[in-house]
Structure 1
Amino acid sequence: MKNRSLPLIAAAFGFSLLVPFLGYLYLGPLYALLFLVGYLGGFVLWIAAPPGASWRSIRLPYWLTLAAFVLLHKVEENRTAFFEAVSARVTGTPVPEVSLGLILALLVIPVGAWLAIPLLVRRDPEFGRFLAWTFFASMGLTELAHFIMPMLANEPYGYFPGMASVVVVAPLAWWGMSRLARGGTA
């Protein structure tokens, strides 16, 4: 817990709950649970891991994971109508209309935080590492839910929108998590 003050831990914990709460408000309980895996999971991993991983040690896995997420995974989800598939085949609730609140809650806040990781790891190393943990946990753990979705849909197991690109995104995130887990020795 070296370099992790109580106010920092409280802020990180609050952020870990904020994003799932916003997911619940805008998308419902399934998405809130999925976001909780990445954000609260990232918080727990951050607390458990030794401090000190440098930006240099996570730079390559970060950029590769981010690129795979944006250029492969989000494109696949959009082209295969992931949210519509979850709505029609799993939750039965309509996909919400795009609104300023939805964009702020589920795009600007979480993705903005992840985009700030390179700067924050250098300026406020522990909070930056916390955000890096949430990023890698979201990409390496939460995204595995694409493989569970066919079972939640109560249909024969098969492709679910977004599933194919997870085989690229998740291992890259695991690499980042392994670098963070080594702390100052990475």
Structure 2
Amino acid sequence: MVKNNWPVIGSVIVVAALYLLAEFIFAPKVMASAAVLLVGGLVLWRFAPATAELDPTTVIVPYLLTVIAFIAHVYEEYRAFVLGFPSVLDPVVDLDLNTLLSHAAFVSPIVWLAAAVVMLKRWSVGYYLACVFLFGMMFMEPTHFIAPFLADGTWHYVGGAWTAVIPAVLGWYTYLRLRRETNAMKAENRTHA
């Protein structure tokens, strides 16, 4: 029997378009990073193609802990911005407080928490959104340690540098757990087939 993937593909396209629209409305300066997240998440999702059959309770706790770590990390970025420290995005975009708050403290947490709800509803698109978030944690958060070198070749503090490692590590842990659970589910399905 051939499985119809079009509803899942359509859902991913709609969710990606809505996310980009929200970024366009609230934080247009970071739309490029949102696009990178969406594509990176698609790649991760391809390698851990969690579907509605996966029990979300196996990954929801580490996922939500990663979201909590991200929100705490955003608070450090906000405080650093208010205190006048450089932003990790300074070499790329002229970040202002409105963009920082709109993107990192408003749109993103809503989307990442919505992903948890959608996973708990056992909709495949929730796992895609989770992979989008995890891609950001795994690959974009470590830029807090690279970006300072781009400015003048030496390391200096940028907003979020002290807490970036926590969501990065939790992101890797959660993604690897998602892959392990997906592979275990597939193996179990093969033995019962």
TM-score, normalization by structure 1: 0.75
Query: Counterpart in 2 of 1:40?
Result: 39
Query: Counterpart in 2 of 1:142?
Result: 140
Cα distance in structure 1, aligned partners of 2:66 and 2:88: 27
Cα distance in structure 2, aligned partners of 1:139 and 1:86: 17
Displacement after TM superposition at 1:184 (Å): 5.4
Query: Counterpart in 2 of 1:63?
Result: 64
Q: Would you say the 8 A contact 1:87–1:94 is kept in 2?
A: no
Query: Counterpart in 2 of 1:177?
Result: 175
Q: CA RMSD in A?
A: 3.3
Matched AA of 1:86: S
Displacement after TM superposition at 1:87 (Å): 8.8
Q: Would you say the 8 A contact 2:23–2:107 is kept in 1?
A: no
Question: Percent identity between the aligned chains?
Answer: 26
Query: Counterpart in 2 of 1:77?
Result: 77
Matched AA of 1:40: V
1:149-164 aligned at under 5 Å gives the runs 149-164=147-162
Q: Deviations over 1:66-94 (max 9, x none)?
A: 221112x0121111118972399424636
Displacement after TM superposition at 1:162 (Å): 0.7
Matched AA of 1:174: W
Cα distance in structure 2, aligned partners of 1:86 and 1:179: 31
CA 1:69–1:93 in structure 2 vs 1: closer, same or farther (change >3 Å)? closer
TM-score, normalization by structure 2: 0.73
Query: Counterpart in 2 of 1:51?
Result: 50
Give the unaligned 5+ runs of structure 1. Answer: none
Cα distance in structure 1, aligned partners of 2:39 and 2:147: 21
Q: Would you say the 8 A contact 1:12–1:127 is kept in 2?
A: yes
Cα distance in structure 2, aligned partners of 1:51 and 1:92: 34
Matched AA of 1:78: Y
Give the unaligned 5+ runs of structure 2. Answer: 186-193
Larger radius of gyration: 2
CA 1:174–1:79 in structure 2 vs 1: closer, same or farther (change >3 Å)? same
Count residues in correspondence.
Answer: 178
Cα distance in structure 2, aligned partners of 1:136 and 1:94: 23
